[in-house]
Structure 1
Amino acid sequence: MSLTGLPNILHDIQSPNSWQQRRQYLFILEKWSDIVGDLVAKQTCPMGVYQKNLQVAVSSSVWSQALAFERVRILAKINTLSGGDRSLAITDIHFSTAKWATQQQTIAQSKVMMEDHPSYLPAIASSNHKSNHLKSNKTDAPVLKPHWFQFSHNK
């Protein structure tokens, strides 16, 4: 077994082809609400880019169908926002409900895990809100419930 030098390994890792899909995905994820709007962004989630095709999870088949008709407009907006960078150009979009539940469950679990962590601090309120909070003696802190609570008590 021969050893490969570190410069060769780094060159292979940093080659444009190996990072292109990741760069495309991160760019789209960052700009998603600007691309489709806040209402649509709440019902959709980009899942990845594979061979210049964007995979998007949607909350329902109705959204999938509606967005399929808007595919060309969304593609144009993505490619315009990429600033003409051909390496970030997307050629097609696939909308599917298949990964929506998995994605939402992952988001919920990560939020629960973060809030349950001993070092978690809720966001600090603005000084104006903080002074009102001190006067009223009410707590605005969120009620933290274990992740199983929402499933066992929802009926």
Structure 2
Amino acid sequence: MIYRILLLFALSVFPLLSSAQKRVVVTDPEIKFSYILPEGWMVEDDGYDYKITAKNIANANIVLTYLEGAQGTGNFESIGSKQSFEQDYLFEIQYILPEEFSNFKVQENGTTKIDETPARWVKFSYGPNADKTGIFYMYQKLNQTFKITGSVPAAQFEKVEPIFKAIVDSFQAEKR
């Protein structure tokens, strides 16, 4: 019995110890979050977005943005109701993503969990000839809205999708 427990523990810790992966930690005054960066990928931080780019797959990247929830919204609730997460997500799909990605067309969408928190996602095609594929995740945790957008040439999506999913699945956020 003890051998089974040790084996399960070793198997669960092994991915964290693998030299091919590195946990990237981002600190903010109120929160910190982290994700596993796969081998062959690099991070660029422009102060607003964290762009995770593949070194060996042209135009494959994930962009991570997080925004703090508005402070003092209670003062304005008498004017109108506070937008729900679902309304914020739909606004992203209907207005923000089509503005950022030309010829934006939804292929499929659904729900998932990121860091044990309910999240929404949408897979979409874009580009002049719909020759690129993107996937957008959005969820709220710790008074932050996290937006994660992966994009890649459509011909490479099947190859890159498991990597995108592994990065998203490794995401962890906590209060500082």
Q: Which has more radius of gyration?
A: 1
Query: By percentage of residues, which structure has more helix?
Result: 1
Fold in common (TM above 0.5): no
Q: Which of structures 1 and 2 has the larger relative contact order (alpha carbons within 8 angstroms, sep 6+)?
A: 2
Query: TM-score with structure 1 length normalisation?
Result: 0.29
Query: By percentage of residues, which structure has more strand?
Result: 2
Query: TM-score with structure 2 length normalisation?
Result: 0.27
